[in-house]
Amino acid sequence: METKLRKSAVDLTDLAIGIVVLGIVVSVGATVLLNVRDTNTTGDTAYNLAGDAATGLAEYGNWFKIIVIVGVAAVILSLIFMAFGRGRGGTTY
């Protein structure tokens, strides 16, 4: 009896790990930058730099939902392309 190997669906592990790592880096990075800012005197260069960097990470966090939506959309599109073949002249699996 022959065992047929089926092509597996898209693996979501990489996307999930990437999103978790990105969230951890943004959270820990913002915490560290805020602690650095709070240990320096107001008006100091290190205070301003740490404050600006923390603001930048907070702004990046606002885009986090969009990044997740684009990642999920890419997975859905890849599933659609796998289901309907690879276009004209391509082979389907």
Going from N- to C-terminal start, the domains of the chain cover 17-82
6-64 pLDDT, tens digit per residue, is 555 667 788 888 888 988 988 898 889 889 888 888 888 888 998 898 888 888 878 88
Is residue 90 over pLDDT 60?
A: no
Distance of CA 39 to the CA centre of its chain: 31
